[in-house]
Structure 1
Amino acid sequence: MTGYDTAASADFFAASTTFFNGLVADLSADAAAMTHDQLEDLLQVRGRELLRLLLQDHLDLRAVREERALTGRRPVPADAGGVAHRMIETGHERCLASVVGPVTVRRAAFRASGRANLHPADARLNLPAGRHSHGLRKHAALEAVRGSFDDAVTAIRRCCGKVVAKRQVERLVIAAARDVEAFYEARVPLPCTAATLLVISCDGKGVPMRPEALRPATARAAAVKGGNTYRTRLAGGEKSGRKRMATVAAVYDAEPAMRRPHDVITFPGSGSGSATQNGPGRRRQGPKATGKWLTASVERSAGDVIADAFDQAAARDPEHRRRWVVLVDGDRHQLDLVGSQARRHQVDVHIVVDFIHLAEYVWKAAWSLHTPGDPAAETWVAIQLLAILSGRLEETLTELRRQARTAGLNPEQRKGIQTCVKYLTAKRDHLDYAGALAAGWPIATGIVEGACRHLVADRLNITGARWGLDGAEAVLKLRAVISNGHLEPYWAFHLQQEHHRVHQTRYQDGYQLAA
């Protein structure tokens, strides 16, 4: 490659050099009486302008170099239809909103009659289809998945200037998330030994949606309820008719960790915590999650999300050499979907119902036999839970029915016990906690429940939020990518995909992104 004269290139940075010299002069004289915070404000504003001028000067230099190169022999680009673009017009301009402010990109257009212009310089710079730079898009995505869109605009303007508006931020986030599924399809998980557990867990969380984004059944229910009863608040039960369920799934690895029932439950007052708390001392710890992978969707069905989780698990264990453990909360539809995916992948799965979820039903039974606030209820619950953990489920069911008969309960008081017995009976095939503890499996869905909180609730359920479907889906996908620790590799993949979509597909032989 022929080199360019260094002095001639330096002349193109005259504007940024002049501005820098002026800033140095001001810092040497006028700023002498400023406090340090005033100096920080000055440098933040004028420093950003200096960076913007440097970027603009560099782009101007590249434009001149391109025009000089066109005076000699050059290849003739052909579009995707094979039509050669032989006519050249220099001086075509486009605006680019960057992280340091707006700049103008000047480049040559290669033209052919009746065809859209080709701009090879755009491909070399990997410019986006719209006016916002990829750096600004990444910044907008990071801010928007952290807090509200209004807060994102404020944060962007604070460090980048007035380069984006609220509606634009939402569109940039949607565009930024478009390659998440393709990224994970192409990503190969790290292998584990055959002894390592492969754990799948799933759960759901409601997201408040705008009317047009509700699922058909929910929209019909909302229509039956009608509009807001009050002008200043929602009526009772009105919020439930305005939500769409987001499904969250987690896949992770865990080394087996054998435990005993008393490692999970201790009696109140024993000095090792309450009936459902881990206490200090000699308790054995449960299996630790590693290699955690999360996915979430409010647009796609629960079946699709669970299918993604099983696909991720299959990628980790294609030969089915590991033990697959599936943790669920006991929802019947969820169990059916898990069974369907297990058959599709032809793998044996061991389904375990979340123990914490089961404990809540035992507490319902306790309030049928104890007055509210009675300390004895906690001891009673601990006895029942220890029996279930020890493999004595049938004995527990018999005892619950016996106590319901002998306690002389009226129909209203019996509801708690009846609900508990019905639940334990329906889920008995997935309540082998004694076997799970002996094998070192996890028995609680804390991983996916935590994901429901930090992926969904912490962002999508903030006060006043009402979501469109595309925006909610994009935010969920990006929050999952960030939680998985894959933001940087995903963004590199996304930029490659953008270059292909925006530039390579326009040329007959493609147009490779420069290093």
Structure 2
Amino acid sequence: MERYGTSDVPDPFACTMEGVKSLAARLSARETAELDHAAVEHLIEVDGREILRRFFQDHLDLRAVREEQHPPSEPVLGAAGEKRPYRERGHERQLTCLFGKVTVTRCPWRRRGRANVHPADAQLSLPRGRHSHGIKRLAVRARRRKATIHILIDFVHVAEYVWTAAHAFHRVGSEAAETFAAEKLTAILHGHAARITREMTTQAEKEQLTGSKREAVDTCVRYLTGHLARLRYHIALKNGWPIATGSVEGACRHLVGDRLDVTGAHWGLDSAEAVLKLRAVHANGDLDDYLTYHHTREHQRTYPDQRDYQLGA
């Protein structure tokens, strides 16, 4: 096997190693020594998982650099043995692993009128869907323990594929394209993804789509078909579960970032936790009720012998 030289590649793990040092510093800090075991465990779980995710991402990025620097010496062939003579760079796909989401960047080898071939996908044994084999093993173990894990694909990603298919049938920006996407996405939200794939295939055949337009539709159909078990949005909506990460990411940015991530701020764990709790109470419209409760409890702690106390307006 060819040995890769790394002298021309900057240390791919340097930033993540700084994260390791930062976690070690937090664990050595005086305020951390005052936490109970559950808080320390949570700190290591959250920060440690992010460090593991970054290590995985660094490794994938390193493989991407090596793939660009060292193309295969043998011709790249498709499933039918046809050569793929043209190489592009920087094609990405997402992978959800045990540590979170990572991005796999690889080189597609192309031939006009034929599907792209990604040698790196085979080398990594990437799954057809977005979830790693580790996630699948976790689901199997959960089933053995009679636990239920519900995995959903971010609805935004599904919408991207459906919109691409819509533009294969209708002009970009047209009302017809918007109607097509809205109808298909609404049906998917109601649990009819399998029916939508059949309808798209039938319509593509009826309109005799070819080339890139047919490929766009087929890609969407393959994506939906390969993830039917993870498109049960009707169950998620019935139970009040989120179906996209945008709301969570937006809440984190608004709740945490806008307050804590300001220039010159230095936070301890206790003070940051207290501020975030207050922001959450205020954002939920419960500040007045909380202050009433807080004042009542403070009075009860100060004057424990006084009963039937109610805070005056």
What TM-score results when the alignment is normalised by the length of structure 1? 0.28
Structure that is richer in strand per residue:
1
Larger radius of gyration: 1
Structure that is richer in helix per residue:
2
What TM-score results when the alignment is normalised by the length of structure 2? 0.46
